[in-house]
Amino acid sequence: MFQYSQNWTIYNEVLCKALDHNIVILIHEMFELGININFQETTNKIQGAR
């Protein structure tokens, strides 16, 4: 049972690292390309569409 649990822990850590890497790349490109994202405006549009 320990081995199964340990495998899931390793799997979750790999997924978190991949997600973290993708977020870092998105933020880097956002600054490099000068893209301004207004998250509040986007959130309001999504909530207004419901």
Averaged pLDDT score across all residues of the chain: 87
Question: Using 50, 70 and 90 to split pLDDT, how confident is the model at 27?
Answer: very high
Question: Using 50, 70 and 90 to split pLDDT, how confident is the model at 2?
Answer: low
Question: Using 50, 70 and 90 to split pLDDT, how confident is the model at 7?
Answer: confident
Predicted confidence (pLDDT) at residue 50 exceeds the cutoff of 70? no
Residue spans per domain, the chain? 24-50
pTM as predicted: 0.63
Q: How far apart are CA 38 and CA 30, in angstroms?
A: 12
Q: How far apart are CA 21 and CA 25, in angstroms?
A: 6
**Full DSSP string of 13-39:** HHHHHHHHHHHHHHHHHHHHHT----H
Kindly compute the dihedral angle of the four CA atoms of residues 9, 12, 14, 20, in this order, to the nearest 10 degrees. -140
The backbone torsions φ and ψ at residue 38, rounded to the nearest 5 degrees and listed phi first, read -100, 95
